[in-house]
Chains A and B, each alone.
Chain A
């Protein structure tokens, strides 16, 4: 894992994530993030967003993901950050099947 950028501080990211979860609950169950190099070596922040089963229904998914991305983009000014931003989504029922440690609640 890389250290946060000069522009984005870990404390700012944590605060924005907590606010996003509070704002978007119950659709958003939790959000985790990691700063790393992406596939082509650019610095990036990866958000893992666990959604409720209801929020991941196709009828609602696009609206929910746009709210998540818009909220965090504005709070953290992501487009002007030196970190590229990537969002991953999963529902609780999908994680129950896939059982990936990276998506397990801490």
Chain B
């Protein structure tokens, strides 16, 4: 498995680590890990387009979370006239998952007053799983490749 898949597996593990009453630390780390699973999935896909493999790690560091969110917001409301409805739905699933997981990750990492329930966390990890599945189905579509570029250069 690659890093993104490993992170998604780890998020699932953390969410279910305690069988009875889950520890808040486990749930918080699960949310954060699910976000980073999607983040690394998209960055890896984007830099994978760069021909020189020895430069990809450096390119990956150019991705900014805020810029990726803004590109995802634009994608979520875009019309994509003439494109396959399935591809558009899949891309919007990915964009929405990125937006939502980024928000939940901020809360999980920085909001001391937050009290998470396992239901919340499992439903958010499902967003990440859906994003992985949708991305796998659309990754070669032009609009998906345009999205990867927008994640890097969106203004």
Contacts and interface: CB of A to CB of B under 8 A. Distances in A.
Interface of A: 38-40, 42, 44, 51, 56, 58, 61-62, 65, 79-80, 84-91, 94-95, 97-98, 100
Contacts of B119: 51, 56, 61, 89-91, 94
Interface of B: 21, 66, 69, 73, 76-77, 92, 96, 99-100, 102-104, 106-107, 110, 115, 117-120, 122-123, 126
Given A79-B77, A98-B115, A100-B115, A61 B103 contact: no
B72 to A, nearest CB: 10
B103 A80 contact: no
B104 A61 contact: no
Contacts of A65: 123, 126
A54 to B, nearest CB: 12
Given A39-B110, A80-B77, A84-B103, 12 more contacts: A39-B102, A39-B103, A40-B66, A51-B119, A56-B119, A61-B126, A79-B77, A86-B103, A87-B100, A89-B123, A91-B119, A94-B118
Contacts of B99: 84
A97 B66 contact: no
Contact of A90 (B21, B73, B106, B117): B117
Contacts of B120: 88-90
Nearest to B125: A62
Contacts of B66: 40
Contact of B73 (A61, A84, A87, A95): A84
A58 B123 CA distance: 9
Given A40-B69, A42-B73, A79-B76, A62 B123 contact: yes
Given A86-B103, A94-B118, A79 B92 contact: yes
